[in-house]
Amino acid sequence: MSHVWVDVKLINPITGQDVKLRALVGTGATFTVVPWEIHEKLNFKIVGKKRVETTKGYLDLDESFALLEVCGKKGVTPILISKELKDVLIGVLTLEALGLTVDPTTGELKEARILLL
């Protein structure tokens, strides 16, 4: 499957500031990750740090939260802020919270069941 790119609206839920952009869907990523330059535009409130493992080793990233709109779905999601990334990466926590999944046959996002088992 090729890379899955989607149009998203990223919103600071405190100030209402937003940006529209293309984001990469990362089914191997737990968290949604936002580049530092987007954080500088939207001024997300830093609420902590998370230590994450990447292909380049371990990183300590700032943690915040954002309102994200994609494929007609909207919800608040935890985000990590990275000085290494150039593009927004949408992680599995966000996909599951919005009730979305990647359809491997089309390479597009589709609705998924939200389970409470």
Whole-angstrom CA distances from 19 to 6, 28, 60 are: 14, 24, 25
Nearest one of 63, 102, 110 to 82, comparing CA atoms: 63
Measure CA of the first residue to CA of the last residue in the chain; give whole Å.
30
Give the global pTM.
0.92
Each residue's pLDDT tens digit, 2-15: 689 999 999 999 99
Identify the pLDDT of residue 107.
87
Task: Specify the pLDDT at position 117.
Answer: 85
Instruction: List the chain residues with pLDDT less than 70.
Output: 1-2
Q: Which domains does the chain have, with CATH numbers?
A: 4-111 (2.40.70.10)
- How confident is the model at residue 38, as a pLDDT? 98
